[in-house]
Amino acid sequence: MNVILPTVITAGLFDSLNPCAISVALLFIALLFTLKKDRPFILKIGFFYIISVYLIYYLIGLGLLKAFSLFGATHFITKIAAIVTIIFGLLNIKEYYFPHAPIKLRMTHDARFKISEWAYKASIPATVVMGILVGIFEFPCSGSVYFAIVSLLASKVTYLTGALYLLLYNIMFVLPLVLIFVFATNRVVTEKMINWQERQGRKMHLILAGLMISLGTIMLLLYF
């Protein structure tokens, strides 16, 4: 039985729940409301934002996949990726119980400031740049899941097949962003979603922790 497809879909969906991407999208929409932008404009901006995040995350995946394929020792890399994923899972548990501890799985203050600079411009070119920056800066939040999936693909399928799987993975990854921009273009809904995210956002770290530890453990069992 081919378990790669359901693994890719499930991991992509769980990766999409990372608090970094969701909080940035909600705050961006709130900013657009503050700047008196209407719903059609927000949807248009949202389209370019999501496409930019999708493309940069996909390109990161392709780069990793190519690097793993060229390196050759894909089974060894997969073992390392599995261990790293478990470690990040434990760090996500730390984020829930000890959010003020020194090691943090979140965007740095400088990264958030740089993103906000582009967000305030509220133009399509600025949104594209912002989406690229978000795709890069949010990688520490849950990038270990992506790293693990890419290493798994490198060890199991050809580069071309892996690239196709990454297309699907990243569709799952941006799916919540699509839903956020569709439903949050109502200001009241946006405010409720921001309040919910502030109250429940930390619980997402536990969800991610469960996925990371499970994924890492399964990969170790497959290769040891």
Sorted by sequence, the CB contacts under 8 Å of residue 27 that are 6+ apart come out as: 119, 194
Taking the C-alpha atoms of residue 223 and residue 75, their distance in angstroms, rounded to an integer, is 7
pLDDT of 108 reads 66
Per-residue pLDDT of the chain (224 residues), as tens digits, is 477 898 899 889 888 877 777 788 888 888 888 888 888 888 999 999 999 999 999 999 999 999 888 876 567 888 888 888 888 888 888 877 776 666 666 666 677 778 888 877 878 888 898 888 888 887 777 678 888 889 889 888 899 999 999 999 999 999 988 988 888 777 787 778 778 777 776 777 788 888 888 888 888 887 65
Q: Which of 11, 156, 176 is nearest to 88 (CA)?
A: 11
pLDDT of 48 reads 93
C-beta separation of 59 from 135 below 8 A? no
Task: Give one DSSP letter per residue of 121-188, joined into a string.
Answer: T-SHHHHHHHHHHHHHHTHHHHHHHHHHHHHHHHHHS-HHHHHHHHHHHHHHHHHHHHHHHHHTTSHH
Q: What is the pTM (predicted TM-score) of this model?
A: 0.84
pLDDT of 55 reads 94
pLDDT of 59 reads 94
Side-chain-side CA neighbours of residue 159 (13 Å): 11
Q: Coil, helix or strand for 99? A: coil
Count how many domains the chain has.
1
Residue 116 lies in domain: 4-223
Taking the C-alpha atoms of residue 183 and residue 197, their distance in angstroms, rounded to an integer, is 15
Sorted by sequence, the CB contacts under 8 Å of residue 220 that are 6+ apart come out as: 79, 82, 83, 86
